């Protein structure tokens, strides 16, 4: 008889096998963290992706592209060093659905 932990593990592994495919992942904001290798970049991009993961998939992806593009190859470093791309976002953040530009600035800070 399997323990609850074993049953849960088996169920999660089945879900991972089923859904961890590029053709499925690309329809979800979770695809964005996969662009990065550095754990700090993955974490910040996953955080942003989760915050704005509501609404039409194309809208979400378009917004995240406009948010991440100025941050370059290392969003965590760009934010930490207060770089030009980060300053650009603070000066003129993209708008997304229910969040105002000011809301986006607060999230970025």
Give yes or no for residue 100 having a pLDDT over 80: yes
Cα 4 to the center of its chain, rounded Å: 31
The whole-number pLDDT of residue 1 equals: 65
Average pLDDT on 45-53 reads: 94
Average pLDDT on 7-28 reads: 86
The confidence band for 85, taking pLDDT boundaries of 50, 70 and 90, is: very high
- Cα separation, 103 vs 94, in Å, equals 10
Name the pTM for this structure: 0.78
- Cα separation, 65 vs 71, in Å, equals 10
Other beta carbons within 10 Å of 96: 22
Tokens for 4, please give them: 């609850």
Encode 36-68: b = buried (16+ Cβ within 10 Å), e = exposed: beeeebbebbbebbeebeeeeeeebbebbeebb
């Amino acid at each position: 008889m399997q323990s609850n932990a074993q049953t849960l593990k088996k169920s999660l592994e089945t879900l991972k096998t089923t859904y961890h495919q590029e053709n499925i992942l690309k329809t979800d904001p979770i695809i964005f963290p996969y662009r990065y290798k550095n754990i700090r970049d993955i974490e910040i991009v996953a955080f942003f992706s989760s915050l704005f993961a509501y609404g039409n998939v194309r809208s979400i992806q378009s917004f995240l592209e406009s948010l991440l593009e100025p941050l370059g190859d290392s969003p965590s470093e760009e934010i930490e060093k207060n770089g030009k791309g980060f300053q650009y976002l603070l000066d003129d953040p993209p708008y997304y659905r229910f969040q105002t530009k000011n809301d986006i600035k607060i999230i970025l800070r």
